[in-house]
Structure formats: structure tokens, C-alpha cells
Structure 1
Amino acid sequence: MSNLERQKGQILVLGMLLATVLSLAWLRYFATGQVTAGKARLVHGLDAAAYSGALVQARTLNLLSYVNRAQLAHQLAMGHLMTLGSWAHFGGVEADRLLQGNPPAHLIGLLFGADHGRAYLSAANAVGLQAQAQPAGGLGHAWAQHDAFVHGHLRDVATMLVRGLPRARLAAMQTVLQVHYPELAGDSLVPQVSADAWPGRVRSRPPDAGYLRFVRTLAARYSFLAPRNQTVRNSWPVDARCPTLRHELRRRGATDLNPSGRWQSGDTQSFHAVRSNRWIGCYYREYPMGWAWMPASEGGQGLGDYAEEAPKNFSEQDFWRWVEEATQWDLVGGDANPLANSYAVQSRPVWPSRGLAAYEELSSTAGDEEVTAASRFEVRLSIPGADGRMLHARSAAESYFSRPSRRRDGRLEVANLFRPYWLARLAPGLPGPS
């Protein structure tokens, strides 16, 4: 047998060995590809879940912003209601004074013009309107509903949102993962949340002086809540001993948020006639035409000068003598309606009020570490791979505050819970093994 014949078939052995090596390499490559594909699928799914969790978080922060804004809207509505109550009471009283002819409508028209005369006569349409300003009246009932809503329902909604966010966020992430892995059981798709900045991120804060100024600033935008002051002077001289004094028609009114965070409103109108005698000389005799005082408490603070025991009429005592004996009013240089104020305090209806409600704000600190404008969290998830080995992935996401456009004043607006400008995004992962 020749050497060539003896060597036949040896290449087959080498070929088989090479085929075995290639098969093993291919199997290894295939297994590695499966692991890589499984890991990529897990990372993409967890990123989508984390983003969805941050989106739920951003929507919660935006909803808290709307709750705070709703609080403000209700407080402004209550200021308007308080003003309406004052006007209703004032109108009803003025109707009564008109019917009594004290002072008569023709005198007001003669001294201060036809427009004021007609306005006084129109008070006849407000007969009995005081009932609306009572706590059991229509306006008083609406006030009570607003007060109950801001201190009850809105506070409950805010508390529920803050406390329920972790559960709602986790449920959103599980839903996304379940769609991403329809072949796996839901109980195996529970991401582990860590490095969570949400606890302590939002807190409930009682109204303070800054919040009070904020509400007052908003109220100043509404002309309905603006001061209602006007003085009309007759041009005719009255007495040679006081040639500069003239009959006056004084309208006074204001709505305010007092230091305790409660609305109060008052309205008065009086005819001040110039009088004189040999004992005190010239003075103003006040004839109240209408009055109302809607206080935030039982007191009369904020109304101006008044007397608790003012007589209903002065048929048995001179007006000027009573003023000198019982008050410290200035009957010449004063510009208020103190007698009308006194009657307003005596007949005041009181609407129960709990004042401004607490609001939600971002906490500047959580424990001893400063919290940034973004509310961040990290999630981890482990699932079995195709070869039975566990696959691990980690993702991080956050909710952050971003205005859609720059402020008109050019200033930077810090993150807050009064503007619904919260968005979501994936965030860089925190240090540590993935």
C-alpha cells in the first residue's frame, strides 16, 4: 500500500475536530446573543416603566398645583361672597331708611344731584335683602359650602395624592412591564424602588404671612374687592361762621383679608349736614343712610370709629352732646361714617370661618440632605433569562420643573406647587452595581 493510500481519511478527523470546535463556538455565541437580547429587552422595558412612574409622579405634582390654585380660587370667591353679603345687608338697610324718609330722597337729589337722588330711590328694590346676608340666607349658605370645601374636600384630595403616589407609581410601572413581558406572571414583575426622593418631598403648610400677602396681591386684581370710597360735596355755603364747610355725602366700603386670614367687608353711606350752635360752633350732623359690617369674628376691628351703644334716634338727646359724652369722634375734621359704623356693628351678621386653609409646598430638605428641584427615584428588576440564569437591570427617572416659556419679567422661576409645569424624564443612574 502506498503512502498516499495510507493517509486517506486523516483530514476527516481534523475536520470533525474543527466542526466540533465551531459548533461549540456557535452554541456559545448563540447563548451569549440570547443573554444580550434578553438584557437589552429588560433594560428597555425597565426604562419605559421608570419613565411611566416619573410621569405619574409629574402628573401628581401638577394635580397638587391645581389643588393649590383651586384653594386660591375658592378664597377669592369667598372674598366676593363676603362683599356681596355686605352689599345685600347695606341695600336692605338703605331701603328701610328710604321708606322712613331719613333722610328724604328729594333732599339728597337736591343737594348732590339727580344721579345720587335716583340711586337712593333705587334702594326701594332691595327691601328685605338683609335676609340673604344672614348665616342661614342664600349668600351665607354659599359661604359655608366654600369654607367646608377648602378645609375638607380639597385637603383630603391633597393628602390622598401625596400618600398614594408611591402605590400609584408602582402600579403604573407594573402595568408597563406586564405589557412588555406578556409571557411572565405579574407577581414576577415587581420592580424594587430605591433612592426615592418622594418621601418628605411634599409637605402641608399652614398659611403664613407670606401666603397671606400672596392672597391679598391676587385679590387686588379684582376691582369688585377694591375700596368703595367716595365723597360728594354740595357747593352751597351753609353758615357764615364756617364758610368752608359744605354738606357731604360720604360713601365708604372695603373688603379685606385680616391678619388671621379671614375675610371681612363693610359698607356705609351717610349724609353729613353742616350744623352750628353757640356751644361748639360748626359741626357735621351725620344721618346714616345705609350700613353693613360682615366681620371675620364677633369684633368690629377694621371698620373704623364706632360706638357699641349708639342710640337709634336722637329725639331725646342732641347728637353733638352724645358724641362729646360717649365718643372721641371728630365732628369737623373727620371723614368717616362713625354713626353708620356703630349701627353696622350692632346689626352685624357673622359668617363662621376657619380662614385660609393649609396648602401643599415643596420641602427644601429631606432629613439632613438637600432636595433638588427634581424628584428622583431608582428601580431595579431581576427576571430569569432564556438559559435559566437571572438577568438584572437598573433604571432611574425623575420629575422636574420646567416653564414652557420664560417669565415676562425675565426672572428665573424656582420649582413650586402653584404652576403645573412638571415633566418626566429618565435620569442618570445612581452610583453602584447594575
Structure 2
Amino acid sequence: MNARAMSFACVARLPERQSGQALVLGLVLLFAAVLGLFFLFSTGQALGTRQRLDNAADAAAWSAALWRARVLNFHAYSNRAIVAQEVAVAQAVTMTSWAKYFERFTANASVLAAAYPPVATVISAAASIAANAREMTERAASDEIGWRADPLTGYKQLLLRSQALLHRSADTFGMGAVANEIARANDPRFFAFAMTDAGGYERFTRRWDTDADRERLQKVVLDALDPFTSGPRGLDLRLLLMPSSCAGTTLDFDKWFHWYRKRGGTVMSSLDRWESADTGSIHDWRRRGFIFGSCRDRESIQLGWGAAEATNDDPVQWLLAYPGDADDNGGAALLAAFGISGRGYRGFHDYDGIARVRDLNYSALDNPRFPVTRVAVLARVEGNTVRTANALNLGTGRLRLFERYAGGRIWSLSAAETYFRRPPGAPERIEYASLYSPYWQVRLVEPSGAERAAAAAYVR
């Protein structure tokens, strides 16, 4: 074979060697592309799941804190309702006392007016109406006190029991139930729970049940009374047609005539007893001595009296405080005290005293004026449920990618806090936190270092 033929033969074999190298390179590139595709697919699935888990954790923490805010707002509404129940009891006692007084006043006035038949007829009719009104008032007041303040079935006890029940629903276990429900609503694969707060929520509020605590609520109740109930229900009327014994013997013109003095009021003589009294008497100014003696006010005729009490199974059946200076009419006040008994109406003896409500535990709060209570939620999803290439059984051998999750799961930590703030549009003024104003709201916050450390302990 000549040289030209050999040269041609060498040139003819070159394309075969180049084709074999391109195939190997193509296989390598194809392997890398498939591996990269699997990696991108798995990474995208993991990141997408993580993003959805983060959103679910935020929603779970916010919802759990929102439930706690609603529980605190319920405490505020129920505390206000309990104050209203106490005020209603005071009003029932007041109306009973006033009805008794008016019944006795009209009855005595009809006797005094017997000398004037036209007037006597009118007053006698009024006395009959007053007697029926007293009967109806006393019966209605007895029922109302029983409904509102009965130690077993009264509205006040129902409110206190509901406070206790809802308080338990907002602890760590309750928050975990809310958080998990929200997480699973986002994705059935998710699981979430509320992390322990080392008793922070239990210290946030407490039941105010000591006498000093109850006196605080008592002051709120007394401040909420209307003017007629709280009194004094007083009146001083000069009787110009009835000259006194001192008429013309003193320079003090007020002492020349008889006076009608009305006294009355309603008070709490103890933490477990409402007392109301109304008295009315005619007073005469009488001279002491013959020539140089002074004039002195003396009660001469008791016209009207009435008293009522609301207490427990051990009624006092006497006036202790004589509210509204009822004892200025001493004789009428004694008659009122003798008639204070409920006359067989059980409700007057079913009052269980100033309630033991739930309020903030100010001594245990970091910031008593603007306190917050936090909820930290840790959410997770099992790693083998994430639809990665490995979970879908894509690829074998070196094309198989295996994920390494912390504890075999994807985790997400979120936190929210319940705080006190007056709503937008409210009048501009500072109002400090309490369980008497329903202004508890929610916001998401950054997890604290302690919460991150606690979450890390779960993840390992």
C-alpha cells in the first residue's frame, strides 16, 4: 500500500474516535442534568412545604392568642355583668324599703287626714294602692335577688363558673388544641402544639377572693349605683301651717315651725349584706326651760318607715348602718328595723355577697400597666410526607437523592402575644389594662431566645 493510501486510511478513522468521546461526555451531562433536575424538584418541594408550614404556624399562633384574648375579654364582660347583678340586688332592696315606707306613710297620713273627708278619701285610696304595690314589689324583689345572687343557681354564679371554665380553655393545653386545629386546616399533614410558658399564663390572672380583693370590687359596685339607690334620699320640709313650741320665742325663724324630715339610703353593711332604710317623721322645736331655755329638735310623729336587707342564710334582721342618716328619725328608724324581716320571702336570704371574680394578678406582672401574655407554637410535618424525588421513588443508585431533616421532620416556630389596647377611634386617653374593659387584642411577634432554645430541644 502506498503512502497516499495509508494517509487516507488514518483520516478515515478519526471521526470514529471523536464520536465515542462525545457519547461519554453526553452521558455525563445527562446524568448531571437529571441529578440537578431531581435536586431542584426536591428542593422546591421542601421549600414550598416549609413556606406553607411557616404560614400555618403563624396562623396557629395568632389564632391561639386570639382565643386567649377572647377569654380575657369574656372575663371583662362577665365582670361588668357581675357588677350589674350586684347593682340590681341593691336596687331590689332599695325598692322594697321604699315601698314599705310609702305604704306606712300613706296609711298614717290617711289616719291624720280623717278630719278632712275629701282629703282622707284620696289618701285612703292611695294607701290601698301602696299596700298592693308593696306586696308586688317585695315579691318581685325576692325573686330577682334569688335569680341574680343565689349561691347555687343565680346568674352571678353562672358567670363565675363560665369564667373558670373558659380560663382553663386558654391554658397551654387549650392553646395547643386551637393551634393544631388551625395547622391541620391548612394541611392535614401538619401538626402543631403550644409550647409551655413555665406557668406564665397561670400567673397572669388570679381569682380575687380575699376580703381585701372583694373590697376592691365592692367599691366598683358602690360607685356604679344610681343616685336614688345610693342616697341619701333626704328631704327637709318646713310645715308653715304647724307652728312649733318655740314660735315667737327665738330669732331663728326656722325653729318657729314643725318640720317633716325624710331620710334614707342603701349601703353594704358588710361584704355579704345589703341594707336599705327609709324613714320620715314630723319634728317639733321644743323649748327647754321656762324663760331662757334653748329650743331643741324633737321627733314628735313617725309618719313612714321601711327597711330591707339582702344577706345569706343568717339574716341580721336589724339595721346596722342606718344608711342615709335614717336614724335622724330615731323612732321611725326603730320601727323600720323591727319590720326589716323578709316576711317569708326566701330570696332576701339567698344573697351570697360580693363575688370572687377573676382579674389580673398585678403583683406578678412584668408590666402591670401594659401587660402581655405570649403563646409560642411549634409546627412540624413528617419529612417522608414531603413529595421530593426520593419520596416519589424517582431515581436509583447514584441518581437517588436522600434528604436529611432535623429529627426526620420540617419544623417552624411562631409566636404571638395578647395585649391590652383601646380600639381605633376611641377617645384619646390612657387606660391601663384590667379585666373590666374588653380591649384585649393580638399581634404576631418575634420568638424570644428562650422560646427558640426550648424549640431546639424538641427538634433534636
Give the secondary structure class of the aligned counterpart of 1:104: helix
Q: In the TM superposition, what is the alpha-carbon distance from 1:26 to its structure 2 partner?
A: 2.1
The gaps in structure 1 that reach 5 residues or longer are 307-333
Partner of 1:203: 206
Q: In the TM superposition, what is the alpha-carbon distance from 1:126 to its structure 2 partner?
A: 0.8
Write the distance in 1 (CA, Å) between the matches of 2:124 and 2:330: 20
Q: In the alignment, does 2:86 pair up with 1:104? A: no
Per-residue Cα deviation, 1:365-391 (whole angstroms, up to 9, x for no partner): 55x977861211111122213256411
Q: In the TM superposition, what is the alpha-carbon distance from 1:252 to its structure 2 partner?
A: 1.2
Distance 1:105 1:160, change over 3 A: farther
The correspondence for 2:417, drawn from 378, 385, 398, is 398
Percent identity of paired positions between Structure 1 and Structure 2: 24
Distance 1:305 1:75, change over 3 A: closer
Write the distance in 1 (CA, Å) between the matches of 2:50 and 2:73: 34
Q: In the TM superposition, what is the alpha-carbon distance from 1:363 to its structure 2 partner?
A: 1.6
1:393 alignment partner AA: S
Q: In the alignment, does 2:74 pair up with 1:82? A: no
The correspondence for 1:4, drawn from 11, 14, 18, is 14
2:66 alignment partner AA: L
Partner of 1:141: 143
Partner of 2:379: 381
The correspondence for 1:286, drawn from 293, 300, 317, is 300
Distance 1:356 1:105, change over 3 A: farther
Greater Cα radius of gyration, structure 1 or 2: 2
Q: In the TM superposition, what is the alpha-carbon distance from 1:172 to its structure 2 partner?
A: 2.5
Q: In the TM superposition, what is the alpha-carbon distance from 1:277 to its structure 2 partner?
A: 8.2
2:104 alignment partner AA: V
1:252 alignment partner AA: R
Partner of 2:405: none
| Counterpart contact for 2:281–2:299, Cα < 8 Å | no
Per-residue Cα deviation, 1:36-62 (whole angstroms, up to 9, x for no partner): 111111111121111111111111111
Q: In the TM superposition, what is the alpha-carbon distance from 1:133 to its structure 2 partner?
A: 6.2
Write the distance in 2 (CA, Å) between the matches of 1:277 and 1:414: 60
Q: In the TM superposition, what is the alpha-carbon distance from 1:299 to its structure 2 partner?
A: 3.6
Per-residue Cα deviation, 1:301-353 (whole angstroms, up to 9, x for no partner): 221799xxxxxxxxxxxxxxxxxxxxxxxxxxx99211111111111125323
Q: In the alignment, does 2:412 pair up with 1:412? A: no
Give the secondary structure class of the aligned counterpart of 2:447: coil
The correspondence for 1:125, drawn from 118, 122, 129, is 129
Partner of 2:158: 153
Partner of 1:229: 234
The correspondence for 1:248, drawn from 231, 242, 259, is 259
Partner of 1:298: 317
Q: In the TM superposition, what is the alpha-carbon distance from 1:429 to its structure 2 partner?
A: 1.0
Give the secondary structure class of the aligned counterpart of 2:433: coil
- Please state which structure has a larger fraction of its residues in helix: 2
Write the distance in 1 (CA, Å) between the matches of 2:382 and 2:447: 23
Partner of 1:169: 175
Give the TM-score, by structure 1 length: 0.79
Write the distance in 1 (CA, Å) between the matches of 2:168 and 2:124: 57
Per-residue Cα deviation, 1:116-136 (whole angstroms, up to 9, x for no partner): x978973442125554566xx
The correspondence for 1:43, drawn from 25, 46, 54, is 54
Distance 1:98 1:370, change over 3 A: closer
Per-residue Cα deviation, 1:82-104 (whole angstroms, up to 9, x for no partner): 111111211222233234x1x33
Write the distance in 2 (CA, Å) between the matches of 1:51 and 1:5: 69
- The alignment of Structure 1 onto Structure 2 pairs a total of residues equal to 390
Write the distance in 2 (CA, Å) between the matches of 1:335 and 1:71: 31
Q: In the TM superposition, what is the alpha-carbon distance from 1:14 to its structure 2 partner?
A: 1.4
| Counterpart contact for 1:85–1:132, Cα < 8 Å | no
Q: In the TM superposition, what is the alpha-carbon distance from 1:419 to its structure 2 partner?
A: 0.8
Q: In the TM superposition, what is the alpha-carbon distance from 1:278 to its structure 2 partner?
A: 6.5
Distance 1:105 1:64, change over 3 A: farther
The gaps in structure 2 that reach 5 residues or longer are 1-9, 311-315, 343-347, 392-407, 456-460
What RMSD over aligned residues (CA atoms) do the two structures have, in Å? Answer: 3.3
| Counterpart contact for 1:193–1:380, Cα < 8 Å | yes
Write the distance in 2 (CA, Å) between the matches of 1:52 and 1:222: 44
Distance 1:267 1:305, change over 3 A: closer
2:191 alignment partner AA: L
